């Protein structure tokens, strides 16, 4: 009896143990709830098997050598870097201005 009363008056037992239980128990509870979320996302993201086959074929069909040969054929001497419009510039007007300046140079 004496030990039980002493434990009830002890601040560590009175406040610390419930706090530890809450933190550790909350950690396990949150893990279960977040796992449900990720499982639902995985189910929702599954593709139709025929569409998934097409996607996999497209990924495998691009070869590095083929891409290199295609890039060798591009004429980079006639390429010109044209900047896009600034946020304060009206994009349609700026595009027209760029087109007109290119046509004048040619």
pLDDT(14) > 70: yes
Task: List Cα–Cα distances, 23 to 17, 48, 64, 71, 79, in angstroms.
Answer: 10, 42, 52, 58, 62
Q: What is the pLDDT, as a whole number, of residue 25?
A: 92
Residue with tokens 């990720």: 38
pLDDT(40) > 90: no
Give whichever of 21-25, 70-74, 87-91, 98-102 has the largest mean pLDDT.
21-25
How does residue 57 score in pLDDT terms, banded at 50, 70 and 90? Answer: low
pTM more than 0.75? no
pLDDT(90) > 70: yes
pLDDT (average), residues 46-56: 73
pLDDT(88) > 80: yes
């Amino acid at each position: 009896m004496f030990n039980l009363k002493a434990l009830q008056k002890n601040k560590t037992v009175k406040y610390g143990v419930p706090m530890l239980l809450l933190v550790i128990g909350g950690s396990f509870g949150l893990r279960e709830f977040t796992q449900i979320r990720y499982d639902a996302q995985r189910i929702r993201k599954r593709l139709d098997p025929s569409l998934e086959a097409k996607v996999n074929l497209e990924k495998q069909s691009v070869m590095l050598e083929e891409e290199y040969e295609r890039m060798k054929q591009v004429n980079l001497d006639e390429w010109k870097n044209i900047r896009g419009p600034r946020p304060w510039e009206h994009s349609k007007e700026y595009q027209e201005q760029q087109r007109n300046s290119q046509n004048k140079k040619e």
